[in-house]
Amino acid sequence: MVNRKIPSKSKVVDAINNVLRTRFYIDSLENLRNTTLRSLRREEKNYVLTTSRIKKLALSIPEIEIKMRTKKTPKKMNLDFCPVCGNTIIPLKIKNVANQFVQIGYKCNKCSFHTNMESFSPMRYEFLFKSEKRI
């Protein structure tokens, strides 16, 4: 039986930073997980990582910008938590002509997720390294 090891948070964050500094852009969460895990396994070959842990740690790094591609879901959903970061989500409301508030969508204050009432959910994540020196 192979002993699987979970890398520390600081090692994973450093590995994510190093991967995105060299590549600047990764087009999916699975690709980010695979490249990060590959760089971590140079140090210890029994390390394991999940995509949910990678996503949560990447959200905590200020040098990384996360963009989402969304898809339309068939039914309307009532969102309580952000599907990207798990933070509480705020309903977006506007005043109409009758001076009543009408909900037009949802917005997360922690990450850049926002949606209208047509129920868009995240389908693919894109990770970009923010750099002032980059052309």
Closest CA to 33 of 14, 51, 12: 51
* Residue 42 belongs to domain spanning: 9-129
Give the predicted TM-score (pTM) of the model: 0.69
Note down pLDDT in tens along the chain; length 135 residues. Answer: 578 888 888 888 889 888 888 888 888 888 889 999 999 888 888 888 888 888 888 888 888 888 877 777 666 666 777 777 778 888 888 887 778 888 777 888 777 777 776 666 667 888 888 865 544
Chain centre to alpha carbon of residue 39:
20
Residue 55 lies in a domain: yes
Residue 63 lies in a domain: yes
Which pLDDT does position 1 carry in this prediction?
58
Cβ-proximal residues to 22 (8 Å cutoff; 6+ apart), any chain: none
Q: What are phi and psi of 66, to 5 degrees?
A: -115, 125
Which pLDDT does position 131 carry in this prediction?
66
Structurally, the chain folds into a number of domains equal to 1
> Are 60 and 13 within 8 A, CB to CB?
yes
Residue 135 lies in a domain: no
